[in-house]
Amino acid sequence: MSKKRKTKEKLRLPFFVWTVRDRDGVWQADGRGNTVNPGRHSLGTKDYEEGLEKLQLLDKVQAVALGLADPSILSPGTTKSIALDAGKDMYLKHVARPFVAGGGVDKTQQRYEAVLNKFVPWVKLEGLEYWEHIKRRHLTSYADWLLEGEYEYATVFLELTTIKQVFNYFIREELLPVECKIHMPLRKPSGTNTFCYTKEQLTAMADRCSSRSGLAWLRAIICGLSFTGMRISELTGLRPSDVDLDKNMITLTDERFNRTAAPGTARRMKNSRNRSFPIHSQLLPIIAPLVKRGASRVFTGPDGQKISGDAVRLAFVSEVIDPLSEKYPSGEDEIGFKDGRLHSFRHYFCSLVANAGVSELAVMRWLGHGSSLMVKHYYHLNDPESQRQMEKVDFKFGSEAE
């Protein structure tokens, strides 16, 4: 029997909205809030998963009884079973459909494939062979397995959401009956546990690169990431034509629809959003010479050629993070400087501009977000008005108040 997470829950099924509650250990379904009243019924079981399966049938039975559906829906289904591997391949092919038809970008496809490559073998070890045999209790057990394996909360959320999307696709394409839909509300993660550098640490990193022969290129990248909030893929792909030194602006454009872009070179922006943002006066002396030198990319590797984000990351960890970790120690179980990576510069940028009072809307536009929990996190963290309001309260007591 799976764990009961709630004693009351509202579920929307094909015909009615039902309030499901546990009464004296037995699950009940109440549909009296609908325009057409299907009544209140006992599901006759103490097991939540079994109760959900019975509710699927009750929803159809009452719809037929009240004249809202044809009696044929109560006939045994003829839907074919979907084997686990076949269903996985089917869904990944769906995700890889053309972008104009709603398909995902390459990274989206890779992310979904990684989820299913982990989930399907786990399901097989549970003794299941077909997608229609997977129930909510299996996803709950899978979440426990992921958390025991020390996967991050956000990762578990993504994996469960993806699996639910697979079922929605099968049902939408009429490959599985609606009874196979998994009703499992998930709590979206909030905030971030990505390490955020301090100004002191940024200074130490820049100074280290300046004092080491052959690391000027890495110092430029560190400054570029810190001053703009760009992702490493955006920074390493930045072209001189993206930088307008007269207007002090950087413009990043999604080029997947550009017919003139050479095959394999079209830039793909996350969320397909174009964006522009100003070049800070302190970044200008760093970026201007890089733009004018005539290379195909503004930020390059030590040899002046294009460099991948992975290559930058490896150099950054070995040349900067590892050598400075002793100066900025943290416990093994504590997220600290040793855990800082290239994406941490994006968080540093966000923290700095939030603390400086730049509007949240402006920062989201600079970063390319329609909405952003990460941005909101730092605005809440650096809310000066909140500090002022707290200081209005007098907490003194006893001898302190005299």
- Give the mean pLDDT per block of 10 residues along the chain (402 residues): 60 91 90 93 86 87 89 66 90 86 75 93 92 92 91 89 94 86 82 81 95 95 94 92 93 70 58 82 94 93 92 95 93 86 90 84 82 69 63 67 55
* Beta pairing, strands 26-30 & 40-42: antiparallel
Residue ranges of the chain assigned to CATH 1.10.443.10: 199-384
Separation CA 253–CA 268 (nearest Å): 8
Grouping H, G, I as helix, E, B as strand and the rest as coil, residue 285 is helix
Q: Domain 84-180 belongs to what architecture?
A: Orthogonal Bundle (1.10)
Residue ranges of the chain assigned to CATH 1.10.150: 84-180
Q: What is the DSSP letter of 319?
A: I
Q: Return the pLDDT at 2.
A: 41
| Nearest 10 degrees: Cα torsion 129, 130, 132, 134 | 40
Q: Return the pLDDT at 1.
A: 30
Q: Which of 232, 284, 230 is nearest to 252 (CA)?
A: 230
Contact 312, 341 (CB under 8 A): no
Got the DSSP string for 208-224?
Answer: HHHHSTT-HHHHHHHHH
Q: Return the pLDDT at 71.
A: 83
Angle between helices 136-148 and 106-125 (to 10 degrees): 100
**Fold of the 199-384 domain:** hpI Integrase; Chain A (1.10.443)
Contact 122, 145 (CB under 8 A): yes
Separation CA 24–CA 383 (nearest Å): 47
